[in-house]
A and B are shown apart, each in its own frame.
Chain A
Amino acid sequence: MSHGPAGEGSHAEPNLTPLLDVVLQLLMFFMMCVNFVNEQVNEDIKLPQSQAVKPMDKAEADYLFINLKPFNLADFQDRLPSDVLARVQDKFRDGDECILVPGKEPMRRNEMRIWLKQQYEDAKQIAEQRGEKNVNTAVVIRAHKEADYGQVFEILQLCKNVGYRRLMLRALTKNTPGGAT
């Protein structure tokens, strides 16, 4: 872009500074709005919608997330290292009950029981160190809408048997724009 002499010697230049200001404002807005996906939350789970759900309590600190969905190999295809993938492929068929927990390979229910027991014991020790009597961890169950009632029920039962007293179910709030899938 050359700024050649334009006739009388003065040339009109658009003033870009206010534009830049506005753009930076917008930029700031969108940066703030980026939702940093909570690592605990599995995006593959399509939650059912419900009108009865309440907004989450931010003050609550102790959550244990359990994600449940029918197994689908495509979910894992590009995400797991090949050796893990082979193991997973071996263990699950499409449509099987599959329990996903942050930081763990997909589990079956009996594996989950062992894991859950361990978690409970750990939580209990920590609670005792703090001088609390009970484990206050809330178990949050995020079940895929295609999951079976029986599976969810078994998991609830398991959590209860292990000793957790607070169970929560996650669902999407209805009437949100773009909520329909």
Chain B
Amino acid sequence: MTIRRKTESGPEPNLPVTPMLDMAFQLLAFFVMTYHPSDLEGQMELSLPSEAITQAKDKEDIKTDAPVDKDQDLKLTANITVIVRTQRDNVNTGLISGIALQDDSGTTPVDTLDKLREELKSRRATVENKENIKIQADSKLKWEEVINVMDVCQQAGFKNISFVPPPSGS
């Protein structure tokens, strides 16, 4: 592109680029500032809560459609229950204070989430129902911690996780 001399004949098309560029920069700055890539949200499909709830439901007034309640397939039969305990007072803030595994043979305490993963993996080999697991957490446990426990269960290979009502008085 050559720079023409002003003395040449004919009108010269002169597009004022500079103000446009200024404006484009302004807009660019605005969008760069407001650019905020949000964390990717994902979701977990939930296996529906197990039988204890269905029983509890009958006491409540909601009884809209009966056929749904009789849907037996939705109940999960799991051999293993993970019990998660917590304390929440002025000192403790709802973090996990104890984990235990419960199955037909009894309850065994587990120290950490890592140990829980190992334990679940080894038990999964022996149990009959290799997909389902139940989590029973204390009512005051932080949701974040529940998700952590769910992660561990999934890593151990249990795909369907259901929740057991928190023990009363916790």
CB–CB A53/B138 < 8 A: no
CB–CB B65/A156 < 8 A: no
Within the assembled complex, what's the spacing in Å between the Cα atoms of A99 and B28?
38
In the assembled complex, B64 has its CB within 8 A of some CB on chain A: yes
> How many B residues touch A, CB cutoff 8 Å?
57
CB–CB B60/A9 < 8 A: no
In the assembled complex, B18 has its CB within 8 A of some CB on chain A: yes
CB–CB A149/B138 < 8 A: yes
* Across-interface contacts of B43 in A (CB, < 8 A): 53-54, 56, 140, 168-171
Q: Which of B55-76 contact A (CB under 8 A)?
A: 56-57, 60, 62, 64-65, 68, 74
CB–CB B28/A27 < 8 A: yes
The chain A residue sitting closest to B74, CB to CB, is A165
User: Which of A78-86, A100-108, A173-181 sits within the interface?
Assistant: A173-181
Within the assembled complex, what's the spacing in Å between the Cα atoms of A33 and B151?
31
In the assembled complex, A19 has its CB within 8 A of some CB on chain B: yes
> How many A residues touch B, CB cutoff 8 Å?
61
The chain B residue sitting closest to A138, CB to CB, is B45
Q: Which of A10, A23, A54, A165 contacts B21 (CB 8 A)?
A: A23
CB–CB B39/A50 < 8 A: no
CB–CB A145/B3 < 8 A: no
Q: Which of A128-169 contact B (CB under 8 A)?
A: 140, 143-150, 152-153, 156-157, 160-163, 165-169
Q: Which of B35, B65, B138 contacts A30 (CB 8 A)?
A: B35
B residues bordering A, Cβ < 8 Å? 1, 3, 5, 17-18, 20-21, 24-25, 27-28, 31-32, 34-46, 48-49, 53, 56-57, 60, 62, 64-65, 68, 74, 94, 137-148, 150-151, 154-155, 163, 165-166
